[in-house]
């Protein structure tokens, strides 16, 4: 995969200290990656790069929304995504390694491409269960037929659990005082 140059930060001539960058990523960014969890979405990436003489410390703040199906009701939703991640980049005379949370680059590197780190950190920020509290949205994106069915099924299970269960009946009669 070729690096996306507009997600690079210049290193040559960059003075020691803190530098801030901001990137906006959209659907076209994720099309460059075959196995992305995120297919469609819009994210704002805030980057704080702290340059020192022998390494870089880069903090990433991710804020955006991912288009996906809700894992509870299967409705199309804009799932809010937030995340904070850190990347350390060390200077080396040896070979370049960008595989872990600590990257290495040579001293003569002119710019640092952050597209791979942004891609990985956005995907790491996606929750395992894709749902959120959408009760206060107007209109609600939920599939109400599915949520009503699930809520009814949960109520039926609770009723079934206590009916004819001698242990549940005995627990109700315990006086804890």
Query: Residues 126-150: pLDDT tens digits?
Result: 999 887 776 766 676 666 666 666 6
All residues at 6 or more sequence positions from 118 whose CB lies less than 8 Å from its CB, including other chains: 7, 23, 25, 29, 45, 60
CA dihedral 113, 117, 123, 127 (to 10 degrees): -140
Residue 4's pLDDT is what? 54
Query: Residues 61-99: pLDDT tens digits?
Result: 999 999 998 887 777 888 999 999 999 999 888 766 666
**What is the distance between the alpha carbons of residues 25 and 63, in angstroms, rounded to a whole number?**
10
Q: CA nearest 51: which of 93, 9, 85?
A: 9
Residue 172's pLDDT is what? 74
SS3 15: coil
Retrieve residue 141's tokens: 């994106």
Residue 17's pLDDT is what? 94
Triad 87, 38, 145: Cα angle to 5°: 135
Portion of the chain with pLDDT greater than 70, in percent: 76
Number of other CB atoms surrounding residue 115 within 10 Å: 20
How does DSSP assign 134-162, residue by residue?
Answer: -TTSSS--S-HHHHHHHHHHHHHHHHHHH
């Amino acid at each position: 995969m070729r690096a996306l140059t507009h997600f690079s930060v210049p290193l040559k001539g960059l003075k020691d200290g803190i530098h801030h960058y901001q990137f906006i990523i959209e659907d076209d960014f994720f099309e460059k990656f075959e196995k992305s969890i995120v297919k469609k979405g819009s994210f704002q990436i805030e980057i704080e790069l702290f340059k020192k003489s022998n390494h870089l410390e880069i903090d990433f703040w991710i804020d955006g929304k991912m288009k996906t199906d809700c894992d509870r009701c299967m409705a199309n939703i804009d799932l809010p995504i937030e995340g904070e991640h850190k990347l350390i980049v060390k200077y080396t005379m040896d070979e370049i390694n960008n595989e872990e949370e600590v990257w290495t680059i040579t001293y003569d590197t002119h710019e640092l491409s952050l597209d791979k780190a942004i891609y990985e950190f956005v995907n790491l920020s996606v929750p395992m269960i894709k749902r959120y509290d959408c009760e206060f949205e107007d209109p609600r994106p939920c599939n109400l037929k599915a949520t009503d069915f699930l809520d009814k099924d949960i109520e039926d299970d609770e009723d079934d659990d206590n009916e004819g269960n001698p242990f549940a009946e005995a627990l109700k009669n315990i006086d804890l005082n």
